[in-house]
Structure 1
Amino acid sequence: MKQPTLIETYLIPRVFDVPLSEGKTLRAYEIGPPDVPLVVGIHGTPDTGLRHVVDYIASGPIFCRLVTFDRQGYGGSTPEPGRKVVDVVPVVRTILDHLGAESAAVYGHSGGGMLALATAALLPERITKAACVAGNGPNFGCGGFDYTQGPSPLLREEIVEARKGPEASRDFYRRVVDKLSDPEVERQIRPENDLRVAKLMAPLWDKIERQLALPKSPYSEEDAYVDDAQSWVSPWGFELGSITVPTRLFCGLEDLMASPYHSEWMQTQIPNAGLTRFAHFGHNLAALMPHMLAWLVSDTLTTVHENARAAGTTFDEP
């Protein structure tokens, strides 16, 4: 019988549903070896967890097992109207329980960054490390932080409109969403390297979509976006200073969506947090993913290998 290849074993994603309360469900994705540290990924706005699966496949960090999911209202996950930043915490707890995992590292990209920080603050008994990648700071807070400092004019307009309420966010979405493929608009929010990466990744994205053949989302991306935008301009429900889990912020110095200023400021608020800044990179996660994942599992992976050596076993080389 033909043995499966490493690609077939480790790099074909599994899609599954996680039951939530009140009959709601979450669509989740799993990829990577089963015998390495677990990482939970949280996507940004608007998006789905599938993008992180594609980035994992492209960068090949099979020293960890990645589980990500469509946040509520996106992709195949039941909406949760009016959700707040802290509402991600029971979701991550439920995912870990569903997997039978005692703990995991967690990261969030872009609009998911604050959600990863929420799990670090409010679920420290289950979270080993947390990373915020190209994330946004709070719309409020001490120290003179200004959410609108740094991003492009389009992104400043987004948050200014969100401050006016849900209908203003909805109007912003309708005005902007169809223009995002316009080259002039793209250059306002994506540096040249991000545009190159997106073009390079497009064939892989199409291949994975065809491979999984997921049904079209029955939910409104517009509604999910409005919930996200309104959660940004509401209190997060925790203080950055309360985070005790080892935390690191990663950002590209050419990010035009979430200014590096946000990561730099949040580092000053989170006790003992680290900060890694990458020259020439923008908002795209794909290029930063191996660095971020390697940090998230570094301590755990060392323990895994030490235990394996003590037991006289070895890991197959990728």
Structure 2
Amino acid sequence: MTERDDAIFRAGTPRAAEFNEELSRIDKWLTPRVFNIEMSGGHSVRAYEVGPPDVPAVIGCHGTVGVPIQSGGGGIGYIARYVSFAPLFCRLIAFDRPGYGGSSPQPGRKVGDIAPIVEAILDHLSVDVAGVFGTSGGGPSALATAALLPRRISRAASYGGVGPSFGPGGFDFVDGSAPLFRAEIEAARKGEKAAREFYRNVIAGPPRSPENDYSALEFSLQSRSSAAPDPVSEKITQQLALPVNPYPQEDAYVDDVLSWCAPWGFELGSIKAPTRFFHGLEDVAVSPRHPKWMKSQIPNASLELYPHIGHALDKLMPHVLAWLTMA
């Protein structure tokens, strides 16, 4: 800052007062809020919002977490990324999907069961229309929301999102996947018992040796979640005084993978909102075949592929949010 700038912003000047007032507003916009919604059947959902109130709203469906966590997790990860990137052109709404974070489990849920939850959140916040996105295992939830709530969803995005277990034209979830991720879906196709064994032996089990198992190296490089706590998420968790997650993460994981392999409860071709897939060409967890095939099933869909990027697409979040908020 030059001496002239220093003089302009010197404490007590009108410009300094305006500047400090704007900083105060921004700080307020970057302060997350948390709320709970009671659903029918005794089910409850914990949700969050952050950002200015008078900009387009976007709702995020988080992915399938791959390591045990005690607090944070779920939708709080999206909130942390928003605070880090500060894309103040949109208002971000996130929530813990059933069984994650502070949202109660919904055993036997199907992918399409997410739509009433999203609708209840939008109603609670008096948001008429929003964009929706989902990451990895949350991709199907975003697509379900677009298909089943056509009047509430303006645009839909899936980045790093998984496709269905099978599809017309010979699409098969496991084709092109690395061995470890292929084994995950093959276990889920066998049912709940096999899915739980996979979770306990691989995801929550003792570390495997990358030197002796290349698939373990792939998993460690492109895991859905890092075992190391994210400092921004931890800070927000403390700021909001979030309690320790009360539900076993194993149950949420099993419900997720079983829902991928079962009928989703809607047809991809029924999605009318503009839809875009964002995917890394180096993704060994979810083969790029997934978004390519899903794009072919949705009339108004497009695809962006990124070289030298795997399953971790966090840095694309501002770009995805910008596309979702386009008029």
The match for 2:312 is: 284
Tell me the SS of whatever aligns to 2:311. Answer: coil
Task: Kindly state the Cα deviation for residue 198 of structure 1 after the two structures are TM-superposed.
Answer: 6.0
The match for 1:111 is: 137
1:67-216 paired onto structure 2 within 5 Å: 67-179=93-205, 184=210, 187-189=217-219, 191=221, 202-216=230-244
* Structure 1: tracts of 5 or more residues without a match: 300-318
CA distance in 1, matches of 2:216, 2:92: 29
Letter in 2 for 1:227: D
Asked if 1:53 corresponds to 2:79, the answer is: yes
Task: Kindly state the Cα deviation for residue 203 of structure 1 after the two structures are TM-superposed.
Answer: 3.0
Task: Kindly state the Cα deviation for residue 285 of structure 1 after the two structures are TM-superposed.
Answer: 3.5
User: Which deviates more, 165-174 or 176-185?
Assistant: 176-185
The match for 1:224 is: 252
Given that 1:58 and 1:286 are in contact with CA atoms closer than 8 Å, whether structure 2 keeps it comes out as: no
User: Which deviates more, 207-216 or 257-266?
Assistant: 207-216
**Counterpart pick for 1:38 among 57, 60, 79:** 57
CA distance in 1, matches of 2:79, 2:216: 23
Task: Kindly state the Cα deviation for residue 201 of structure 1 after the two structures are TM-superposed.
Answer: 8.5
1:225-304 paired onto structure 2 within 5 Å: 225-299=253-327
Task: Kindly state the Cα deviation for residue 6 of structure 1 after the two structures are TM-superposed.
Answer: 4.4
Letter in 2 for 1:210: Q
Task: Kindly state the Cα deviation for residue 58 of structure 1 after the two structures are TM-superposed.
Answer: 1.9
Closer, same or farther: CA 181–105 of 1 in aligned 2, 3 Å: farther
Deviations 1:81-125 (A, max 9, x none): 110011001111111111111111101111110111111111111
What's the TM-score, normalizing by structure 1? Answer: 0.87
Task: Kindly state the Cα deviation for residue 186 of structure 1 after the two structures are TM-superposed.
Answer: 6.0
Letter in 1 for 2:80: V
What's the TM-score, normalizing by structure 2? Answer: 0.84
Tell me the SS of whatever aligns to 1:268. Answer: helix
The match for 1:29 is: 48
CA distance in 1, matches of 2:249, 2:30: 28
Given that 1:10 and 1:32 are in contact with CA atoms closer than 8 Å, whether structure 2 keeps it comes out as: yes
Matched residues, percent identical?
53
Task: Kindly state the Cα deviation for residue 178 of structure 1 after the two structures are TM-superposed.
Answer: 2.8
Closer, same or farther: CA 157–200 of 1 in aligned 2, 3 Å: closer
Letter in 1 for 2:48: Y
Task: Kindly state the Cα deviation for residue 265 of structure 1 after the two structures are TM-superposed.
Answer: 1.1
* Structure 2: tracts of 5 or more residues without a match: 1-16, 66-72
Letter in 2 for 1:139: S
CA distance in 2, matches of 1:286, 1:186: 22
User: Which deviates more, 143-152 or 81-90?
Assistant: 143-152
The match for 1:17 is: 36
Deviations 1:232-286 (A, max 9, x none): 1101111111111110001111112111111111111111201011122221232
Structure showing greater radius of gyration is: 2
